[in-house]
Amino acid sequence: MKVQLNSLYIFLTCATLGGILFGTSCKRAPIKNEEESGTEIAITPLARPIGSVKGQASSKTIGPAGGVLSSADGQLKISIPAGALTEEKLILVQPIEQTNIAGIGLSYRLTPHNVIFKKAVTLTFDWKAITDQVGLPQTLGFAYQQGDQVWKYVGASTTDTVHKTISYETTHFSDWSLMNRLSLEPYEASIEPGQTQSVRALIYTQTKWDDLLTPLTGADQATEPGYPVGTPAALPRKFIDSWELAGPGKIVKTDASTVTYQAPASVNGSATAVVNLKLKAPRAGTYLLLSNIHISGNGWIELSIAGGGTVKFPASSAAKSGNTYLLSNPENEGGGYFLLRWNGGVGSYKYEISNGGNHFHFQTSKTTYMSRYVDNIVKDLVPSGGQIQITKIDKGWVEGMFNVPNAGYGPMLLDITSASGRFRAKVYNTATHAR
């Protein structure tokens, strides 16, 4: 599962997340951090691969008069003021693979790399499309990849939480990305009733007390502020105020930077608990890091499309009628409507195109992926390769996995990609419950 890292900047006493309001009746008494002092942060700078090209380039010739260039996807805007260049240069921006260990979304290659601008150039990133990946806005910032392939976090010049944009002023180009400097790991997790989940507070760079939030100190000085990005370390005690819980279950303190969440023994369908960490910070305000724990009384589904990150979401009970099982998800959890149908118990089942046959289906707001596609040779609809494999049916639960190496999608299912995943779900026997 691609665990995506997140948090919110909240001035309210209750956290509102994903349309769910957790009132004061749901909150538990905070677990305070009693130790004020902390040791230095041990971060080892981490050299990372150079990202490969992931999209269309956008370019423009800009000279001494200045100009503006945006990436083809509209995510990144480059504003070059008059006087920043002494001669015309071909400016290029291209989306590339994200290799920053704490990065979110795509990175962007800005060229030429060998130019030092006479005046600061403003980079503005629009993060509306990746809101669910954005962490605490005051610790969200820019980073660029240095010559030694280590990313350097430089923070932000301005952050607009209303319009969801963030800007940074720089005098050079490189490969740039956005990153969450602080996070709770995991940001999101799915567990079953009675299970536990460890939640850790992590930081990906060194920092001074005054530099915990953006903009970083020294931004107005001649030297560029910033810190190398490396393997994350536990957030020091001096930055931690207290842990709180909104929702069912309980948290148990293990140490300042880690707690263990305990899910309730049972839930009706599914429920969500939010573990939040209140930070101590150099500026007035309430700053929370959040971890969303989904408790599914009916089980879970993991799904990966085109070899991408795995998304884990709650399952509805697998409905059993005769030898046929239907597995789905509630309320489009996971980003779309999921359906898996197979006919039989433990064993392997190839996909079919007949009504009622073994079938995979995932419908999003943009397209639908299915276990069938139009073959270019026979010019007709054929079942995808791969299979559904049921590995266990025991005590009212079913477990298994599925792979669809050539899943059809797009208009008339003419395009193909891949889908795979696994699941564990309660079995709902329609014949038993009909009596």
Residue-wise pLDDT for 199-229, tens only, equals 999 999 999 899 999 998 765 555 788 999 9
Q: Cα–Cα distance between 243 and 31 in angstroms, integer? A: 5
Q: Cα–Cα distance between 102 and 309 in angstroms, integer? A: 15
> Strand locations in 18-66, DSSP E?
20-21, 31-32, 58-62
Once rounded to an integer, what is the mean pLDDT over residues 383-399? Answer: 95
pLDDT at 190: 85
In the predicted model, is pLDDT for residue 162 greater than 70?
Answer: yes
pLDDT at 268: 81
Residue-wise pLDDT tens digits, 97-140: 999 999 999 999 999 998 999 999 999 999 999 998 888 999 99
Share above pLDDT 70 across residues of the chain, in percent, rounded to a whole number? 89
Tokens, residue 272: 């969500």
In the predicted model, is pLDDT for residue 8 greater than 80?
Answer: no
In the predicted model, is pLDDT for residue 1 greater than 60?
Answer: no
C-alpha R_g of the chain: 25
Quote the mean pLDDT of the chain: 88
pLDDT at 29: 55
In the predicted model, is pLDDT for residue 84 greater than 50?
Answer: yes
Once rounded to an integer, what is the mean pLDDT over residues 349-362? Answer: 96
pLDDT at 132: 85
pLDDT at 43: 92
Instruction: Provide the pLDDT confidence category of residue 254 given band limits of 50, 70 and 90.
Output: confident
**Tokens 């150039």 appear where?**
121
pLDDT at 379: 86
In the predicted model, is pLDDT for residue 4 greater than 70?
Answer: no
**Higher-confidence position of 61 and 253:** 61
In the predicted model, is pLDDT for residue 181 greater than 60?
Answer: yes
Instruction: Provide the pLDDT confidence category of residue 314 given band limits of 50, 70 and 90.
Output: confident
pLDDT at 15: 35
Chain centroid to CA 152: how far?
Answer: 21
The answer to whether residues 199 and 186 touch, using CB atoms and an 8 Å cutoff, is: yes
Tokens, residue 335: 């980003």
pLDDT at 434: 56
This prediction's pTM: 0.74
**Higher-confidence position of 39 and 177:** 177
- Contacts of 91-94 spanning 24+ positions with Cβ under 8 A: 91/59, 91/60, 91/61, 91/62, 91/67, 92/57, 92/58, 92/59, 93/57, 93/58, 93/59, 93/69, 94/53, 94/55, 94/56, 94/57, 94/58
Share above pLDDT 90 across residues of the chain, in percent, rounded to a whole number? 74
Indicate the range of 69-83, 280-294, 366-380, 421-435 predicted with least confidence.
421-435
Tokens, residue 298: 């009916």
DSSP states along 386-412:
-EEEEEEEETTEEEEEEEEEEEEESGG
Once rounded to an integer, what is the mean pLDDT over residues 170-182? Answer: 97
Indicate the range of 16-25, 57-66, 195-204 predicted with least confidence.
16-25
> Strand locations in 23-83, DSSP E?
31-32, 58-62, 67-70, 76-80
In the predicted model, is pLDDT for residue 260 greater than 60?
Answer: yes
Instruction: Provide the pLDDT confidence category of residue 57 given band limits of 50, 70 and 90.
Output: very high
Beta pairing, strands 287-296 & 188-191: parallel
SS3 of residue 293 by DSSP = strand
Once rounded to an integer, what is the mean pLDDT over residues 60-82? Answer: 97
pLDDT at 175: 98
Once rounded to an integer, what is the mean pLDDT over residues 82-108? Answer: 97
In the predicted model, is pLDDT for residue 36 greater than 80?
Answer: no
Once rounded to an integer, what is the mean pLDDT over residues 376-383? Answer: 91
Instruction: Provide the pLDDT confidence category of residue 22 given band limits of 50, 70 and 90.
Output: very low
User: Which DSSP helix (H) or strand (E) runs through 332?
Assistant: none
pLDDT at 18: 35
Q: Cα–Cα distance between 384 and 403 in angstroms, integer? A: 10
